[in-house]
Amino acid sequence: MGDLSLKKYFMAFVLGTSLITLAACGGGGNEGKETSGDGEFAMVENAEAEELFNQSCIGCHGGNMEGGSGPSLQKVGSKYSEEEIKNIILNGKGSMPVVINDENEAATLAGWLAEHK
């Protein structure tokens, strides 16, 4: 088993145990909570966005969003609005292919990326 496979299994384990912990500590009751504000619900949204980034973007944009075969995304929110980022995610841009087709996932990821300024 290669290092990459071990990293994938480790990340799956960490994500799985985190979700179990979140489920055990409570859930639901998100009515009236803002997804972009501080607090538990925002942290879950960020975790979802980070997981989407790790699944779809990390290969080209790097583990720290420093760039690689794709550009750095560390300050992408300074360059593009949330809507522009969502559009790029859904439609690709230049040599970047479409990697997420789901509108909700794209919106979650775009919101998180737009915060990076």
Task: Say if 10 falls within a structural domain.
Answer: no
Task: Say if 7 falls within a structural domain.
Answer: no
Task: Say if 22 falls within a structural domain.
Answer: no
Full-model pTM: 0.64
CA 106 from chain centre, in angstroms, equals 9
Span 76-113, pLDDT tens digits: 999 999 999 999 999 999 999 998 999 999 999 999 99
**What is the reported pLDDT for 45?**
75
- At position 78, the amino acid (one-letter code) is S
Span 31-71, pLDDT tens digits: 333 444 555 556 777 899 999 999 999 999 999 999 999 99
Query: How many Cα atoms within 13 Å fall on the side-chain side of residue 102?
Result: 7
Task: Say if 63 falls within a structural domain.
Answer: yes
Domain count for the chain, please give it. Answer: 1
Cβ contacts of residue 1 below 8 Å, gap of 6+?
none
Task: Say if 71 falls within a structural domain.
Answer: yes
Task: Say if 9 falls within a structural domain.
Answer: no
Residue 40 sits in a domain whose CATH number is: 1.10.760.10
Task: Say if 5 falls within a structural domain.
Answer: no
Task: Say if 65 falls within a structural domain.
Answer: yes
Q: Which domain holds residue 71?
A: 36-117
